Amino acid sequence: MLSKSQISLLTSLQHKKFRQQSGLFLVEGYKSIIEFVNSPYRIQTIYHTPGIASKLLNLSRKINFQEISTAELQKISTLKNPADAIAAVYIPQWAGFSDADLKNKHSLVLDGVQDPGNMGTIIRTADWFGITNIICSEDTVDAYNPKVVQATMGSLARMNISYTDLKEFLRSADLPVYGALLNGESIYDVDFGKEALIVMGNEGNGIRPDIQQLIQHPVTIPRVGGAESLNVAIATAIFCAKLAAKSFQ
């Protein structure tokens, strides 16, 4: 049975302030939780309903777990229809990307992405295409927001994410900087090379002017029809597909 203080801690993790205070975030559903168990993430506790107890006995490493009732799960879940388990997982503590982390690969840079669904979809899509580094502006939505975690469908467990001052980061990065902008080179013609940073912007406003100035290679997805813009997760996916095309040539 969950104590009052456990319920209070777990429900507080829906808010960024309390995630930062406790260093914990929530992962819901056995299928997603397992991705974190099979990753370097440290699991604090898995709270699970009786139905999946036997599955947890066979985990590849020793994890704290606690059986709770469906009614208790409902209390601490962020979902309308909670699945079977919820885990409190430690937010990784690290100093951000070193030059070596970024060498010989493509990394995404997000300037002010706001929507949790978009952020989650970007992480899931990047994971599909083998991109594992995402550098975010400080005002980008928190990747440990429960809605983001949910939308990544476990892919967050394989992603390195850092929040930083993008202007400073891009200025000191020793890599070519590409960005999704209007009036750039067509994405069909771009060669991203073997290492690059790819900057994507905010849903409504795109990339901030002072960040735009640091983009050496503006890239455009050519428009054929009438839509005014593309959703940022959609645009990111098309960039990722193009980046991954290299691996198949």
User: Which of 22/132 has CB closer to its own copies?
Assistant: 132
CA distance 74 to 10: 12
Number of residues that bind its own copies (CB under 8 A): 40
User: Which of 159/175 has CB closer to its own copies?
Assistant: 159
Amino acid occupying residue 223: R
Kindly identify the residues of this chain, within the stretch 148-177, that bind its own copies according to CB under 8 A: 153-155, 158
Q: Which stretch binds its own copies (CB under 8 A): 17-25, 44-52, 80-88, 185-193?
A: 185-193
> Quick check: 241 binds its own copies (CB under 8 A)?
yes
Contact residue for its own copies among 188, 194, 205, 216 (CB under 8 A):
188
CA distance 188 to 220: 9
Paired tokens of 139 = 């005002």
Burial profile 172-183: b = 16 or more Cβ within 10 angstroms, e = fewer? ebebebbbbbee
Within 8 A by CB and 6+ apart from 129, the residues are 240, 241, 243, 244
> Quick check: 72 binds its own copies (CB under 8 A)?
no
User: Which of 2/153 has CB closer to its own copies?
Assistant: 153
> Quick check: 193 binds its own copies (CB under 8 A)?
no
By C-alpha distance, which of 94, 99, 108 is closest to 172? 99
Residue 132 beta carbon to its own copies: minimum distance, rounded to whole angstroms: 7
CA distance 117 to 43: 24
CA distance 158 to 41: 9
Residue 134 beta carbon to its own copies: minimum distance, rounded to whole angstroms: 13
Binding flags for its own copies, 113-152, as an x/- string (CB under 8 A): ----x---x--xxxxxxxxx--------------------
Vertex 79 angle, CA 75 and 80, to 5°: 85
- Cβ count within 10 A of residue 129: 18
Residue 153 beta carbon to its own copies: minimum distance, rounded to whole angstroms: 7
Q: Which stretch binds its own copies (CB under 8 A): 49-57, 170-178, 192-200, 227-235?
A: 227-235
> Any idea which residue has 């898995």 for tokens?
46
Q: Which stretch binds its own copies (CB under 8 A): 9-17, 135-143, 170-178, 221-229?
A: 221-229
Q: Note whether 128 and 159 are within 8 A (CB).
A: no
Binding residues (CB under 8 A) for its own copies: these are 117, 121, 124-132, 153-155, 158, 186-188, 221-231, 233-234, 237-238, 241-242, 244-245, 247-249
